[in-house]
């Protein structure tokens, strides 16, 4: 059997995968149109708006990708008591196999990222959000909800966008709870201080995040391996999957040879949310009993699909299987 055939069989087993996703859920808005002139008021382009769409972002996009791959997901997060929060709830309700437990905080604004695009070219991003640690009551509620949910999931995903849900020691507390329940933890990091993620099983930094966390150069595969191993040793991390944009990704563990995967994308239109896709694919694969190297190979294919789309995209199980079959026939 080929590696592609093995991964296709793995994907077909995702309907039994159960994942818990906790983190910063957002609303991604895309305002698209075309530019034909410069404003007479200032030296800026005038966007003639043709379409506006809203999608789940942040941890919500991880959930969306998990659902698209066929996995079952419980998600725990925080939203404001506002229109954006209501829209986030409705978008989650539309997904298959998703059980959402969203706490509402009247003192916070739901996170919104609005991107303005001319064709596929992003011109501007505008953020509306509250960035602050949770209240003590909200912390206790999330810890209680996560602890209860751990007994019915195979993997915990922490999607940290630095907005508040995983700030102020929350990530570390949830990792400790998962370790105690013998549930593997995958972290998409935002903090430069990896003490927040001490004891995680897999962390998925991009190249810049790896550089900031390690304080080491990451401009070559050897440097990426060295920087990753320093973090693995210092913070008791199981493995680091470093995403390197057009250069693919690298899987590094404490022992054994690093695995470097070339990028799968032929055309890159938008990298928004590609990291969410990587985390989702890794989680679904590990929850189905896959080896970490196979999980990384699947994540690489899935990421190559989403960067070829415009917007915060998801890779479906059918799309990934088609891509793998194409590889086998090439």
Taking the domains of the chain in order of start, what are their residue ranges?
3-25+58-103+133-329
Determine the pLDDT at residue 272. Answer: 60
Partners of 249 in the β-ladder = 243, 261
182 is catalytic: no
Catalytic residue among 127, 267, 276, 318: 276
Q: Model pTM greater than 0.85?
A: yes
- 78 touches 161 (CB < 8 A): no
Low-confidence stretches of the chain (pLDDT < 70) are 1-2, 265-273, 310-312, 328, 330
Nearest to 27 by CA among 99, 101, 96, 90: 90
Spatial distance between the Cα atoms of 28 and 35, rounded to a whole number of angstroms: 22
Determine the pLDDT at residue 84. Answer: 97
Q: What is the mean pLDDT of the chain?
A: 92
Spatial distance between the Cα atoms of 222 and 240, rounded to a whole number of angstroms: 14
Determine the pLDDT at residue 273. Answer: 67
Determine the pLDDT at residue 307. Answer: 80
Q: Long-range CB contacts (< 8 A, 24+ apart) of 318-324?
A: 320/11, 320/69, 320/281, 321/8, 321/11, 323/264, 324/4, 324/7, 324/8
Determine the pLDDT at residue 1. Answer: 41
- 72 touches 17 (CB < 8 A): yes
The DSSP 8-state label assigned to residue 150 in this structure reads G
Spatial distance between the Cα atoms of 199 and 32, rounded to a whole number of angstroms: 42
Q: The domain 3-25+58-103+133-329 belongs to what CATH superfamily?
A: Ribokinase (3.40.1190.20)
């Amino acid at each position: 059997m080929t590696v592609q055939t093995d991964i296709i069989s793995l994907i077909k087993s995702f309907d039994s995968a159960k994942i818990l996703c906790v983190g910063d859920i957002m609303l991604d808005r895309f305002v698209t149109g075309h530019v034909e002139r410069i404003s007479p008021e200032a030296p800026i382009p005038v966007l003639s708006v043709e379409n506006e769409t809203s999608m789940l972002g942040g941890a919500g996009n991880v959930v969306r990708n998990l659902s698209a791959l066929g996995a079952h997901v419980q998600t725990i997060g925080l939203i404001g008591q506002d229109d954006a929060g209501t829209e986030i709830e409705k978008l989650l309700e539309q997904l298959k196999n998703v059980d959402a437990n969203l706490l509402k905080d009247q003192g916070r604004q739901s996170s919104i990222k609005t991107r303005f695009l001319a064709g596929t070219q992003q011109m501007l991003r505008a953020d509306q959000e509250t960035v602050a640690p949770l209240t003590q009551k909200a912390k206790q509620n999330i810890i209680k909800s996560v602890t209860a949910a751990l007994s019915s999931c195979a993997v915990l995903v922490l999607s940290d966008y630095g907005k508040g849900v995983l700030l102020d020691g929350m990530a570390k507390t949830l990792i400790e709870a998962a370790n105690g329940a013998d549930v593997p933890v995958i972290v998409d990091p935002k903090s430069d201080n990896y003490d927040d993620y001490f004891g995680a099983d897999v962390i998925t930094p991009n190249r810049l995040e790896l550089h900031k966390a390690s304080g080491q150069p990451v401009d070559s595969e050897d440097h990426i391996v060295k920087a990753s191993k320093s973090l693995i040793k210092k913070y008791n991390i199981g493995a680091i999957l470093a995403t390197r944009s057009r250069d693919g990704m690298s899987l590094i563990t404490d022992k054994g040879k690093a695995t470097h995967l070339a990028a799968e994308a032929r055309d890159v239109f938008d990298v928004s949310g590609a990291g969410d896709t990587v985390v989702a694919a890794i989680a679904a694969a590990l929850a189905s009993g896959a080896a970490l190297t196979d999980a990384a190979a699947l994540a690489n294919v899935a990421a190559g699909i989403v960067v070829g789309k415009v917007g915060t995209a998801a890779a479906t199980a059918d799309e990934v299987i088609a891509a793998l079959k194409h590889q086998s026939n090439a």
